[in-house]
């Protein structure tokens, strides 16, 4: 697929920084005017103009510049433009690991998160190995659409590759299981990890506060004795409170104190 380079830029020809045929140094790429334009892009039309400029200056032959272009499309403050990111992506002969991860990330944030799995499979088939940044986006995609079967397959690959100790992957696994009423698995992941922070505790607590009974999700409120899982939930919350204390966690009760003060005044 070839992109048109007919867009006009408010830049004189003398400012063009054409790259040599050989792979340019990293610092040269970082300071290239085209990438500075990209960081200051304010509209879709501007994005297309920057892309045209990248082609004119030969930057489209470098993975670094293309990765920055794809990343901007996915996480742009203008709003994600995944379709344009995909157009750019499909022109790249051999996308590197960062570019694959960015496309997977984009789909995890989209309305079709399971497409992230499809691109993950394509990534593996292309011979590019995943890293610790790949899996949180994949697990998030599975959690969003209750794809626990695919999530468990990813979990197995995480264990095989030795990424289970990564804190972001650890929390993503807890979220996957907790959000889909597989709290035994969520607790198992939590218990086996040596890395426990407020984020992982919160993920587990959120799962225990929302339980599915007879295919209906019930929100568990503090003081609820009627909830069918109240005893289990209270036991779990007590255990979490104990573990938080052992970890030296001191809860911020400032907002609660303000509320109580207002109620008593």
Higher-confidence residue of 83 and 250: namely 83
Per the prediction, the chain carries an average pLDDT of 73
pLDDT in tens, 150-183: 999 999 999 999 998 898 998 899 889 988 878 7
- Which residue spans within the chain are E strands per DSSP? 210-213, 216-219
Q: HSE-up of 14 (CA within 13 Å, CB side)?
A: 0
pLDDT of residue 190: 80
Per-residue pLDDT of 60-69, as tens digits, reads 777 888 888 8
Q: Which of 56-65, 85-94, 104-113, 124-133 has the lowest mean pLDDT?
A: 56-65
Distance CA 199, CA 121 (A): 29
Residue 186 exposure: Cα atoms within 13 Å on the Cβ side:
24
Domain ranges within the chain, ordered by starting residue: 1-79
Dig out the tokens for 175 from the structure: 């979220």
Does the pLDDT at position 73 exceed 70? yes
Enter the tokens of residue 35: 């990438």
Alpha-carbon span 126 to 124, nearest angstrom: 5
Contacts of 29 (CB under 8 A, 6+ apart): 35, 59, 62, 64, 65
Residue 181's nearest CA partner among 219, 225, 153 is 219
What is the rounded average pLDDT of the residues 98-112?
93
pTM for the structure as a whole: 0.66
CA distance 211 to 234: 13
For residues 222-229, average pLDDT: 52
Alpha helix positions (H), 162-253: 167-179, 183-192, 198-209, 230-246
């Amino acid at each position: 697929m070839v992109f048109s380079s007919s867009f006009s830029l408010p830049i004189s020809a003398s400012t063009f920084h054409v790259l040599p045929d050989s792979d340019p140094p990293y610092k040269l790429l970082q300071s290239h005017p085209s990438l500075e334009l990209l960081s200051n892009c304010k509209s879709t039309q501007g994005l297309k103009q920057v892309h045209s400029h990248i082609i004119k200056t030969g930057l489209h032959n470098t993975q670094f510049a293309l990765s920055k272009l794809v990343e901007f499309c996915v996480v742009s403050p203008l709003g994600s433009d995944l379709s344009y990111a995909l157009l750019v992506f499909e022109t790249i002969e051999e996308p590197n690991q960062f570019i694959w991860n960015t496309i997977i990330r984009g789909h995890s944030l989209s309305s079709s998160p399971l497409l992230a799995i499809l691109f993950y499979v394509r990534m593996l088939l292309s011979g590019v190995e995943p890293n610790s940044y790949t899996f949180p986006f994949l697990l998030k995609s599975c959690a969003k659409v209750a794809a626990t079967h695919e999530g468990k397959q990813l979990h197995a690959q995480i264990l095989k590759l030795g990424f289970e100790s990564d804190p972001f992957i650890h929390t993503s696994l807890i979220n996957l299981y907790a959000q889909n009423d597989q709290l035994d698995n969520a607790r198992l992941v939590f218990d086996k990890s040596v890395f426990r922070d407020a984020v992982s505790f919160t993920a587990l607590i959120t799962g225990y506060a929302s339980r599915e009974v007879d295919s209906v999700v019930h929100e568990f409120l503090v003081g609820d004795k009627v909830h069918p899982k109240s005893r289990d939930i209270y036991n779990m919350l007590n255990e979490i409170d104990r573990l938080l204390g052992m970890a030296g966690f001191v809860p911020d009760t400032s907002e609660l104190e303000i509320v109580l003060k207002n109620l008593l005044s």
